Structure 1
C-alpha cells in the first residue's frame, strides 16, 4: 500500500503541476488504533510553481474564484488523499491548527522532501496556543460523544474518537505542550492503573486485533469519566488566556525559502 500511495502522490504532482513537500498518515492508523478495515487517511502539503504566486490573479481563472487552496482526491474506499497548499497551511499553522500539528508529528510518513516540515516543527512550540488547541480537542470530544455514545447501546468503537481528544486536552491542561499523537502514550502517561484503564486497554486490544466493535451495551465507567472530564475541561478552558508571539515574519521566510528550494 505504501508504494501505491507514493504512486498516487506522484500522479497528483503531475496532474496539478505542483510539488508535494511531505505526506503522512492521519487518523486511526497514526493514532495507534487501526482496525482491520481502517482506511488510509493520507494528508500532504504542496507548493505551486513560482509563476502561480507571482501573477496578478494568483492562480485564478474566470471559473475559479476564489482560488482553490486544497486538493482532495477520491481514490477508493480504502484510500483517502487530500492536501493543503503551503500558504494556506502556514496561515493555519500561525493559528496553532491541531490537525496540521498532528501531521507534522505523524510517525507514518509516506513522502518527505525539502526542509519545510522540519522548519515548521522547529517553530511549533513558538506558535502553540494552549487555549485554541484545547478547545479544538474539547469540541471534537463533545461532538463525537453527543453523536455516538448516547443511549443504552452505542457504537462502541467510537469511544476512541472521544477518549483521544479528551486525553489530548488533558495533556494540554497538565503539561501545557503539544500532546503526543499516539493514543497509547496518552493513556499510559495520563491514566493511572485501575478499572478505567483496564476497560480502555481491553477495548484497545479488541480493536487492534480486528474485533467488530459495533453496537454493544455502553460502558458506564467510561461514560462517567467522559462526562466528568468534559465538564472539568470546559471550565478549565475558560480560564486560559490566548497569548502568543506573532510568527508571521518567520512563516513568510519559510514560504520564500521553500519556493526557492523547490523551484530554484
Structure 2
C-alpha cells in the first residue's frame, strides 16, 4: 500500500470511528513547503463536519480530532465550526491548509467556498505577527553561536520571507518555499546561492546537524527580523471577517454534507 493509500485509509477510518465527514484534507508540513527530507513524515491536516444534532447542544464539546504520531503520519483535524471561527480571525495555519499544493481529499464545495471569502477575512497584521513570532523563536533557539542547527534555517527563512511577501503584496504568502525565494531574493546574489545550496542538500537527504553559521543568511535574518518587528507595530488591524456570511456558509455546508 502506497503512502497516499495509507493516508486515505486513515482518513476513512477516522470518519467511521468518529462518525464525521471529512470535507478537506491536505499536507501541511515540509512536504507542502517544498523542502522535505527523505525521511520526512506526512503532516496531514483536515476539516470535518459532525451530524447536525451535535451542534444543537448547550454543552461545549471537543472540536479537534487527533491521532498518535507515528513514523509515517502526524494527522489531526478541526471541526468546521472551529475552522470558520479561526478563518474569521485570519488564522495563518488554516489559510496555508487551504492553499496546500498536496490535497488528499476535497469533498463537496466547502474548501472552495471558504477560499472565495479569504480576501474578506485576511489580516496582514495578524499574519505578519504569526510569521514573525515563528521566525524569532526558531532564530533565537537554533541559529545563534558559531555552530548552528543548519536545517533550522528553513524554519526561519520561510516565515521571514512570508513577512516580506505580506508587506509587498498585502496578501497571504504562497506556501511553497521556492515561490518565496524566487520572487523575493535577489537573483544571482550570494544570499540566493547560499539558500539554494541548502535546499539542494536538504532534498538530497544530506546530514544537516550542527555546522558553522552561514554568514549571508544570518546577516539577512538579523536585519529582516528587526525590520519587521517595527513594520508590524505600525500596521492597521483589520476588522473581523464577515460574520453573517460565515454563519450562512456554516449552515449551507452542514446541509450540503448531510444531504
Residue 244 of structure 2 corresponds to 249
Q: CA deviation at 1:75?
A: 4.5
Q: CA deviation at 1:176?
A: 0.7
1:221 lines up with 2:216 in the alignment: yes
Q: CA deviation at 1:211?
A: 0.8
Deviations 1:8-59 (A, max 9, x none): 00000000010001000001000000010111000000010011012343xx
Runs of 4 or more, structure 1, over 4 Å off, are none
Q: 15-24 vs 48-57, which deviates more?
A: 48-57
**How many residue pairs get matched?**
256
Residue 81 of structure 1 corresponds to 75
Checking the alignment, whether the CA contact within 8 Å between 2:163 and 2:228 is kept in structure 1 is yes
1:41 lines up with 2:53 in the alignment: no
Residue 259 of structure 1 corresponds to 254
Checking the alignment, whether the CA contact within 8 Å between 1:69 and 1:85 is kept in structure 2 is yes
Q: CA deviation at 1:125?
A: 1.0
CA–CA distance in structure 1, aligned partners of residues 156 and 251 of structure 2: 39
Residue 210 of structure 1 corresponds to 205
Residue 29 of structure 2 corresponds to 27
1:129 lines up with 2:123 in the alignment: yes
Query: TM-score, normalising length from structure 1?
Result: 0.95
Deviations 1:58-114 (A, max 9, x none): xxxxxxxx5211011015122100000011000000000000000000010011101
CA–CA distance in structure 2, aligned partners of residues 55 and 95 of structure 1: 24
Decide whether aligned partners of structure 1 residues 237 and 113 sit closer, same or farther in structure 2, where only a CA change above 3 A counts.
same
Structure 1: 5+ residue stretches without partners: 58-65
Residue 100 of structure 2 corresponds to 106
1:155 lines up with 2:152 in the alignment: no
Query: TM-score, normalising length from structure 2?
Result: 0.97
1:140 lines up with 2:142 in the alignment: no
Q: CA deviation at 1:245?
A: 5.9
Checking the alignment, whether the CA contact within 8 Å between 1:126 and 1:244 is kept in structure 2 is no
Deviations 1:141-180 (A, max 9, x none): 0001011111111110000000000000100011111100
Checking the alignment, whether the CA contact within 8 Å between 1:148 and 1:155 is kept in structure 2 is yes
Residue 187 of structure 1 corresponds to 181
CA–CA distance in structure 1, aligned partners of residues 69 and 133 of structure 2: 29
CA–CA distance in structure 2, aligned partners of residues 234 and 90 of structure 1: 28
Residue 161 of structure 2 corresponds to 167
Q: CA deviation at 1:225?
A: 0.6
Checking the alignment, whether the CA contact within 8 Å between 1:21 and 1:44 is kept in structure 2 is yes
Structure 2: 5+ residue stretches without partners: none
CA–CA distance in structure 2, aligned partners of residues 228 and 56 of structure 1: 51
